[in-house]
């Protein structure tokens, strides 16, 4: 009986020590904060270097995990000489991010975008004549049609610097995986590729 009592004391003592030392993501009090970030990417599309301009916003949980949405647009049109066409590329989707550890001056963050994109035919505006009866919105809505869409998955790794308590700079690299492009002569390979990423985070961390 004394041995059983001794075992119980040892068990509960050990359990309480482990519980005090173990850090968990799901804490009793969940810390919810958020941020927004303009983003610039230097990438290659259809064998031409170009800029991707975008932004994203996210809710930050326990300063470690963020969930949000983001979108990007190619700064200039994709020119296809075979058909003398120009296409505007853009995509958006859900973004999941892990930050470790965010309170350090310099730290890492990793995120993945899962979303959908489109290629818009911009060449039609080259031959549109002005008609005072219609304004520009009419022409844009009727002639700048979506010609194709695609699935995009983009993992990204960043090195972040805490400039202030509410502002962070990030430098990273991403890979844009594209699937579903069926617009001849463009292919998935023309749109996918690596990108250098410049991030400017502003918010409560």
Domains of the chain, start order: 27-204 (2.40.160.20)
The tens digit of pLDDT for each residue in 41-66 reads: 999 999 999 999 999 999 999 999 99
Identify which of 85, 84, 89 has the alpha carbon closest to the alpha carbon of residue 43.
89
Pairing of strands 78-80, 106-121: unpaired
How far is residue 158's CA from residue 55's CA, in Å, rounded to a whole number? 15
For residues 66 and 158, the answer to whether their CB atoms sit within 8 Å is no
pLDDT in tens, the chain (205 residues): 544 454 444 444 444 444 445 555 555 688 999 999 999 999 999 999 999 999 999 999 999 999 999 999 999 999 888 777 889 999 999 999 999 888 899 999 999 999 999 998 875 554 334 444 445 544 444 444 457 999 999 999 999 999 999 999 999 999 999 999 988 788 999 999 999 999 999 999 9
How far is residue 140's CA from residue 121's CA, in Å, rounded to a whole number? 11
pTM: predicted TM-score of the whole model, two decimal places: 0.76
The tens digit of pLDDT for each residue in 147-167 reads: 799 999 999 999 999 999 999
Percent of the chain with pLDDT over 70: 75
């Amino acid at each position: 009986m004394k041995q059983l009592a001794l075992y119980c004391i040892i068990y509960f003592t050990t359990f309480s020590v482990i519980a005090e030392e173990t850090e968990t993501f799901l804490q009793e009090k969940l810390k919810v904060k958020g941020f927004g970030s303009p983003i610039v990417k230097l990438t290659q599309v259809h064998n031409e270097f170009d800029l991707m301009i975008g932004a994203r916003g996210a809710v930050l949980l326990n300063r470690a995990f963020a969930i949000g949405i983001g979108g990007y647009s190619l700064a200039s049109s994709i020119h296809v000489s075979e058909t003398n066409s120009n296409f505007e590329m853009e995509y958006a989707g859900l973004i999941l991010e892990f930050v470790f550890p965010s309170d350090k001056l310099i730290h890492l963050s990793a995120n993945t975008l899962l979303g959908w994109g489109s290629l818009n035919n911009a060449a039609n505006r080259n031959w549109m004549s002005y008609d005072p009866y219609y304004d520009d919105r009419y022409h844009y809505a009727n002639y700048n049609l979506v010609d194709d869409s695609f699935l995009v998955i983009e993992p990204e790794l960043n090195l972040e610097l805490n400039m202030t308590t509410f502002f962070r700079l990030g430098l990273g690299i991403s890979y844009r995986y594209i699937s579903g492009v069926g617009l001849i002569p463009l292919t998935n390979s023309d749109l996918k590729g690596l990108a250098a990423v410049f991030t400017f985070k502003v918010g409560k961390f």
